[in-house]
Amino acid sequence: MMDNRADRPSGLGRGLAALIPQRPVTDGGPTEIPLDRIRANPRQPRLRYDADALATLTASIREHGVIQPILVTELVDGYQLVTGERRVRAARAAGLERIPAVVRQLGDREQLELALVENLQREDLDPLESARGYRQLIDEFGFSQEALAARVGRARSTVANTLRLLELDPTVQAAVADGLISEGHARALGGLPIEHQATVVATVMAQDLSVRQTEEFVRRLREPREPTSAAPARDAELERVEEDLRRALGTKVRVAQSRRGGRIVIDYYTEEELGRLYERLMGGTA
């Protein structure tokens, strides 16, 4: 029999139904199953759940019931959840004993893929959770970045950029997961050696830098110092002071010594940046 699935459009626009293998079921639709027989999905990419949103969903389920069935695969002694973790948690919190479910026989790859796609459709995953889900599909099931991008409805460059988050310092990854910085901030910080990223992300958060400002900050930290062929070798302590000032102020700083002292040159590029530097140097006073 000819398989014409290759002719179908790929991407999130198809919805979850198009990704679920169409095998016959006994009753042709959702059925009620006991909540106490449902096991968590060990391949669920989502790790964090907003307590307030979950409480709102619980109140809605208590009032109206579960409107959208969950998806499970049948086990010998019960069911394993594929998609619908929030609905299961909220239904239990609401005191329900049973929940509507669609039962399908799914392999490990299909379970991870469906869980990932559902959360991407709902924009429920933070960038690190998406990255870990992508990495799992690539490492365990042999997806290429191109095939994965087509499957989850993302551009290949988007998938590649998200995967690079896993190469960042754990401090930067934690800041992304906690919503303290955006994925754009993290990508900018990826331009630095990993041993410098924790220090710089602390500066980015302390100064509340935008993504553009973070990119500029990283660029200045990476650019080589201007050559001074006639100048003597610089003292290591002076180099350290200059580097500390550069990181603290978030801009290019040069310290020049002379026989009777020296000078500190602080660069700025916009009026907004001048105002920020003024407030920082003046201790926040006008």
User: Catalytic residue among 32, 63, 74, 85, which?
Assistant: 85
What DSSP element (H or E) covers 122? helix 108-122
User: Closest by alpha carbon to 15, among 121, 143, 164?
Assistant: 121
Amino acid in the structure at residue 234: R
Core vs surface per residue 101-115: b (16+ CB within 10 A) or e: bbbbebeeebbbbbb
HSE-up of residue 60 (Cα within 13 Å, Cβ side): 13
Q: Is 223 a catalytic residue?
A: no
Cβ-contact 88, 32 below 8 angstroms: no
Report how far residue 253's alpha carbon sits from residue 225's, in angstroms, rounded to the nearest whole number.
10
With residues binned 3-state (H G I as helix, E B as strand, rest as coil), the percentages for the chain, rounded to 5, are: 50, 15, 35
Can you point out the beta strands (E) in 40-197?
A: 70-75, 78-83, 98-103
- Active site amino acids: 85
